[in-house]
Structures are given as structure tokens and as C-alpha cells.
A and B are shown apart, each in its own frame.
Chain A
């Protein structure tokens, strides 16, 4: 694996364009667009303030730079470098900004979540969405970009509005049975919307595109509830990771739990999976990932090289210095049963660092990757072919390859 020379970056804002041809990065208030293969600088744009957020439009023609402190969003074009666009929210402030799926509208969320303004780059029209919900995932677009679901809260009740993205017309507006809606997510097929409640209340509601409640699922009542949710790419399964360190998988036919995956502190040689016997027929579709196959545990081992004291020289040579301080890490296969380091989180703090915080389905529906507990991993993503996975932490990243058995 070759590495290029490092480039300066501020705010972790480095993004490839959706078509993969360009790489946008920002340094303070400057936006650099490079060619993805040669890393040559193609364009250089200067914004009014330090850029806090960067997003490519879906057709890779425009780049959005948001400056929350100033409440300003600037849009740059790749086709026409002298084209400029500046959106000033003024005293309303700005907390979030994103593109619409068609790449021609920008949705700005004002401070205190007063409203969401939909600015259009094609027309002079401006739309407002009032009372948006101040939650983690309040706005969700369908995969095909037709519809947008927005979570709202009026009079201490949660509502969901579904808009048609083409014309920003309100399609449906209905209330949800949640106490305090925490997030919404469309299924990849665009027909079902998953709505889940705050962690004080374990509740997942499934609404159809036309606003009907299809089903609701609640695993238990009092302890802390849902931490993360993920749809499988085929929309057949919904994985729910909760604070009790378990992942529950619902199937799309009956919306009932078909299986429950545990994350025990001690990994036994054979992980058995409890299966709901009524839903056995859908288990076959889940594939090899959920079965009592043997468990392989990879443990990262850091080795720092030891240096004999007599070989030390003063001043230390460059090679010696780098070798002293570089730590090599490798992965050992640990013998099962393995007991994982388990640090009990502080009980009297909010948002404890327990539970399944990250879920990722592989692209071919075969595997589900979960992160349980306090591991310092910031992101977990699969390759589109489904046989490798990327783990990112603050300082490291790890690429995992899966050896798959040949399917005859």
C-alpha cells in the first residue's frame, strides 16, 4: 500500500466527490479541489470564514461550504469556477446545512432549530419548514431522492412530514407515537420509514410511505433503549442496537424479531443465536453470518521494539529515534474463550458508553458488523463488494478482508 505525502487539512474535512474524480479538502477558509488520481490541485476557492462543513452535490458539480459561526453557506461550481453563491442566514444562525438529493437545493437548519430553509439554486423560491425536531437524524432522504421525511415537534408531540423533493410539496403529515423522537431513517427501497424513540424508551415504529403505521416494536420497557439502527441493503432486515449490548434483527414481512445477537463479555467457542421459531423461514435469507459458526477473535497487539541500552548513542540518529517511537501493531488470533476487557461505565452519567453503538450491513446482505462498548472506533464501513471492511479510529485505520467460502 502506498501512501502519498500528507496534506494539510483542518476540521477533518476531506471528501471525495461522488463520482470519485475529485477530492475536496479545506484548510481553514480555503477550499482545495484536487484530482483524485494525481492529487493535483484543480481549483482553489476562498470562503469568508473558517469552513466547518463541506459537502459535494450528488452530481459532483457543486460543493457546499458551511460556516456556522457566520451563518453563511457558500456554494462553488466545478464547471464554472467563477460562479459563486452565498446564502446568508443572518441572525437566524446556522447549525446544519446539507444538499437535497437533486443537487440543486440547500437545506439550512437555523439556530435553535427554529426552521429549515430550503434554498433553491434554480429558482428564486424559498421554502420554510417550521418546527423541525432537534434530534440527531431529523431529516432523511429516500435513496432515490424522491421523498424527504422531516421530523417535527409541535405542542410537545412528534410529527413527521413527507415532502416530494421535486417540488417540495407536502405529501403527508402524521403524528408518531413516540415520546421524544430520536431519529428517522428510510429503508433502501424507499417504502418504509423507521422511526425510533429516545433512549429512555425502547420503541421502533415503522411507517409506510403513505403515512400508515405498519408496526411498532418494543423489546423491553425500563432500561435504556436504542442506541443505533441500520437497514440491510435489501430492506429485508432492520438491525437495532441497544444499550443492553444486544442487536435485535426484525424482518420486513412480519416486523417481528427474528433473532437476537449478544455481545457477551466472554466470547465462547460457539456463539449460539436465539431464533424466534415463528420466523424461521426468513432466517435462511440471512445467510452464514448468523449461525453457530465458530468465532474467530482478532486481538490487536502493539509491539514496541526493544533496544539494548548499550547501543544507544547520543545524539540519537534519525533511524533509531523513529524506530524507538514507532510501534508496530499486528493482529493475533486469540484462542477462544476470550474475555474482553470490560470497563464498567460510570452509572450516574448520561449517555453511558455501553451498548451497540455502530451497525453496518455488508452490501450483499451477508454480514453485519457491530461495535459494542467503548472501543475507540469512529467509523465502520464495508466495501461495496462485501468482502472487506474499513475501521477508522482517531489515529489508526484498519482494513479487514474476509475469506469467504466458495458457494457451490
Chain B
């Protein structure tokens, strides 16, 4: 489209009256291109005459024609002159040129229209985008302002929070301080009180001592106890003097009492211990029996090995424990540890079963491991039937076996004889059949051999006949050969020969 710019057509003076039919008012953004497009449109029919007369007048016809011719040739059109240097116009070429120009003009106008439409579209799109952009910018501004506001609030709240925390800490410290102070006060008061009490008590003791002295002094005069007669001791024994021996005896007795008490307690505890140990061992056995036999999975094998060895160890331990006294610390620990282990395993197993049951309840029929109850029952019924049948079979077999083994000699012999008889008869039958067949075969063989002999004889006879006949023929042939004209015998001869040769082939 650069061509549009190079053509400099004399622009009309800015007549306000001139209106261009194909111009379009562009309010928003007139670009340089559009202004040029505007100006390159056709003038209206009103000023067409004046426009056209402005270029070519009566005087400069030849110049204008030559100018036009030059322009056209530069544009690529053929020359409008009839000859290259003549002044005669080639009307045909001129008309063609004019037509071409018109066509070109039309095309250009259409292109212009399209461009203008596109331009309008782009313009409206641009407007729209600008609107959106402006709106988004506003929104962005708003949100930025909001964020700033919220941040500010957040900061304030945080600072308030910090202040409150600080206050709380201070209060706590104060309170603990106060509590400490109160405790100090209490302890100080307590010590003071104790001190005072002790002082008062000492005074009181002094008074008591004094009083005691006074009382004791007074007491000597009066007889304190008046009794008709002294009563015998409760246990009937006499009173004894206080000596070291009695003191030692007292000590001894005291220790005896203590010891007996301890021994009794220890016995009780031992009994309890043995009972508990028995219970524990029983529990262990039960737990081991409850646990399922470990399957041989490769990844569990090391654990399996341990578990099995543990079980074996435990069983071995049991035997050992029964031999030794059960008061050894290590033995006790082993027992409790092994029980704990077994219990843990049992727990895991029960948990697994629980999970399975819960999965089964939640309707997981896709599980291969979980069989529905009816299937299970059916299977069990089937298995039971099978078992029954097998049992019956086994029973009958056993019976038969029993019969065999436990029969008397006579009956067995009889039985055996029976079986032998049967077999013998069968064999005889077969033999009979066999003999018959043999006889038949013999007969047939005989007949065959006879037939073969006969056949041989016949053959021989036939050979002799043939030989004789040939000889005869041959002789006859040589006799007939003299008459060559006799075709019919030759035919016959020929046919005969043919027959003969055929037979021998």
C-alpha cells in the first residue's frame, strides 16, 4: 500500500462544501494513513466537472495527454498513443486503460472499506481494552488501599496482643511472687510458732517437774494403795526379778515375734507368687495356643524364626523352671517378658481379625479372603458330606479287609477255589475259541494253498498254449507275408500281435 503515499494528486482547496461520499468521520484517533485515505477518495459529482476541468483545458490537451500517457506507462499500462512517437491516440488502448483504472479504483475502494471496517473494529477493541484496563487499575488501587488498611489493623492487633501477653506474664509473675511471699510468711510464722511453743513447753515442763517433786514428797506419807489381799497373777506364775537374763529373754521373745511375723508374711507372699506364676504360665500357654500358626512368608521369615525360637525357648524354659526354684530374677524377667511378647502378638492378631470383620461388615465382597457366611456354610456342608462318604468307603474297605484277614482257613480255601474255578472256566472257554479259530485258519490256509497250486498249474498250461499258439501264428505269418496285397489279414495279424503284446505286458 505504499503506492498510496507516492501519488501526489493535487489536493483540492479546503472547500467546506466538498463532501466526500466515502469519507468517514473519525472522531477518536485519526491516523496519518486514514487522513491520506480520506483525501484520496473521489470527489462528489457536484465538483466533478470543476475538478476535471482543472487538470485538462483546451490549451494543454497534448501536454495532459502526454502526461497521462507517461503516468500510465509508469504504472505499467500500455501506451495510449497509437504509435510510440505519434500523436494519435489509440482509442482502444485508452479505453482499456480507463477500464483498468476503473477496475483498479473499485478494488481500491473495496480494500479501503475493508480496512476502515477493520480499523473501526480495532478501535472499538482498543476502547474496550482501555476501559477494562482503567477499571482494573481502579480495582487494584482499591485493593492495595484495603491491604494497607488491613495490615495496619493487623499490626495494631498484634501489638495489643503482645501487650496483653506481657501483662499476663507480669500478673503471673506477681501472683507467683505473692504466693511465694505468702509461703514464706507461713513458714516464718510456723517457725515462730514452733519456737514459742517450745518455749512455753519448756516452761510447762519446769512447772510439771516442780509439781511432781512436791507431789512425790507429799505422797510418802500416805499409803497409796489399800488392798484386802493381793491377788494371784492371771497366769498363775510368780513374779520374777528384773535381771539381765530377763532382759535378754525379753529381747529374744520380741525378736522371735517379729521373725515369726516376717516369716508368715513371706510364706504368704511366696504362695501368692507361685500361684501368680502358675497363672502366668498357664496364660502364656493359652496365648501361644490361641495364636495362629505362623505362615511361611518370605518377609516374615526372620520374625518367624525369632518367634518360633522364642516359643521353643519358652517351652524349654518351662521345663527348666519346673526344675529350679522360681525365685531367680532373670527367670522372672524372662517369664514376664515372654508373656508380654505373646500378649502383644495376640493383640495384633485380634486387631487384624477385627479389621477383617469390620471390612466384611462394610460389604467388601470383592475381598477374596473374606467368604460370605452362606458360602462358608455351604462349603462346610459339602466338606462334611465328602467326609461322610470317605468315611463310609473306608468303613466298607475295612470290613472287607477284616473279612479277608479274619476268615477261617476252610472258607478262605473255598473262596479261593471258587475264584480259581471261575478263572479256569473262563480260560477253557477262551482256549476253545482259540482252537476253533486255529482250525478255521488252517482250513483257509489249505484252501489257499490248493488254489495257489491250481493257479500255478493253470498258468503253466496257459503258457504252454500260448507258446504253441505263437509258434503257429509265427509260422502262418511267414506264409502269408508273400501276399502283400492282402490287407485284411495283415490287419488281423496286426491285431493279433497287439493282443499278444498286450497280454504280455
Contacts and interface: CB of A to CB of B under 8 A. Distances in A.
B320 to A, nearest CB: 25
Given A102-B235, A167-B246, A91 B215 contact: yes
Contacts of B226: 85-88
A156 interface: yes
A303 interface: no
Contacts of B239: 122-123, 125, 167
B117 to A, nearest CB: 90
Contacts of A156: 197-198, 201-202
Given A83-B229, A169-B250, A126 B257 contact: no
Given A89-B224, A114-B211, A119-B225, A164 B250 contact: yes
A375 B239 CA distance: 49
A189 B263 CA distance: 13
Given A92-B219, A167-B242, A122 B212 contact: no
Interface in A71-100: 77, 82-92
A103 B235 CA distance: 10
A222 B179 CA distance: 13
- Chain B interface, >50% SS class: helix
A114 B208 contact: yes
A92 B215 contact: yes
Contacts of B227: 84-86, 121
Interface string A258-289: 00000000000000000000000000000000
Contact of B232 (A84, A86, A122, A191): A122
B251 A171 contact: yes
Q: Which of A115, A155, A191 has the most CB of B within 10 A?
A: A191
A59 interface: yes
B247 A169 contact: yes
Interface in A110-140: 110, 112-115, 119, 121-126
Interface in A149-175: 153, 155-156, 164, 167, 169, 171
B75 interface: no
Interface string A307-344: 00000000000000000000000000000000000000
B224 A126 contact: yes
Contact of B222 (A88, A115, A171, A190): A88
Which bucket holds chain B's interface residue count?
Answer: 35 or more
Interface in A181-227: 189-191, 208-210, 222
B194 to A, nearest CB: 7
Contact of A85 (B218, B228, B234): B228
A104 interface: yes
Contacts of A179: 194
Contacts of B240: 167
Nearest to A86: B226
B27 to A, nearest CB: 90
B258 interface: yes
A122 B224 contact: no
Contacts of B269: 253
Given A88-B225, A179-B194, A121 B230 contact: yes
Contacts of B250: 164, 167, 169, 171
Interface of A: 59, 77, 82-92, 102-104, 110, 112-115, 119, 121-126, 146-147, 153, 155-156, 164, 167, 169, 171, 179, 189-191, 208-210, 222, 252-253
Among all A-B residue pairs, the 8 with the closest Cβ atoms: A85-B227, A191-B261, A102-B234, A156-B198, A121-B231, A92-B215, A86-B226, A122-B233
